């Protein structure tokens, strides 16, 4: 019942719904997608029960449609995220996110002696593993793994 009421309150006419975000990653997703810079209507919900994730969060954004390379970045913190693309109150497309082959910015290199942590350099990584995410820094060549992954 409760879920239904929330959904009806926040139903959107056109836009994107991002579901199955781990609750702890909600604010990271907001920051990666730079949602704070948009001036369209948005709803954030968090701590919904989820069989798979324990607690999940969800984001509804009116009149916003993401390009693949924009949205795939969130796979780093929300690998199970699902997108519903809404047109005229109908789900017209569903898609999942996939970790991209290269990551520019977003993530901090875990090597404290890396040039990116000491000079004004935008980080750059090759993704060497997508399942248990492992990123190879294009500068210091060290691996940053899932466990040490910090979003800038």
- Binding positions for another protein, rule: CB under 8 A: 109, 111, 113-116, 118-121, 137-143
Q: Report the residue from 32, 71, 109, 133 that binds Zn ion according to the rule CB under 5 A.
A: 109
Element (H, E) at 2: helix 2-10
> Cβ of 83: how many Cβ atoms within 10 Å?
21
**Least CB distance from residue 127 to another protein, whole Å?**
15
- Collapsed DSSP state (helix, strand, coil) of residue 22: strand
Applying CB under 5 A, the span of 21-29, 52-60, 93-101, 139-147 interacting with Zn ion comes to 139-147
Closer by beta carbon to another protein, 6 or else 138 = 138
- The maximal CA–CA distance of the chain, rounded, in angstroms, is 53
**Least CB distance from residue 28 to another protein, whole Å?**
24
**Number of chain residues interacting with Zn ion (CB under 5 A):** 6
Position 114 contacts Zn ion (CB under 5 A) = yes
Residue 45 · residue 57 · CB < 8 Å: yes
**Among all chains, which residue has been given the structure tokens 């990116």?**
116
CA distances from 5 to 23, 32, 35, 57, 128 (A): 20, 29, 24, 16, 43
Position 148 contacts Zn ion (CB under 5 A) = no
Q: Report the residue from 21, 26, 81, 137 that binds Zn ion according to the rule CB under 5 A.
A: 137
Residue 40's Cβ-side half-sphere holds a number of Cα atoms within 13 Å equal to 15
**Least CB distance from residue 77 to Zn ion, whole Å?**
19
The residues binding Zn ion (CB under 5 A) are 109, 111, 114, 137, 139-140
């Amino acid at each position: 019942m409760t879920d239904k009421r929330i959904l009806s309150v926040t139903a959107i006419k056109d836009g994107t719904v991002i579901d199955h975000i781990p609750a702890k990653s909600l604010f990271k997703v907001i920051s990666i997608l730079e949602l704070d810079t948009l001036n369209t209507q948005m709803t954030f919900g968090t701590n919904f029960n989820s069989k798979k994730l324990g607690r999940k969060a969800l984001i509804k954004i009116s009149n916003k449609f993401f390009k693949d390379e924009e949205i795939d970045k969130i796979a780093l913190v929300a690998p199970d995220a699902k997108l519903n693309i809404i047109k005229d109150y109908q789900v017209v497309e569903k898609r999942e996110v996939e970790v991209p082959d290269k990551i520019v910015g977003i993530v901090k290199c875990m090597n404290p002696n890396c040039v990116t942590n000491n000079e004004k350099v935008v980080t750059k990584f090759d993704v060497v593993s997508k399942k248990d995410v492992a990123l190879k820094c294009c500068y210091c060549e060290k691996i940053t793994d899932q466990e040490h992954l910090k979003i800038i």
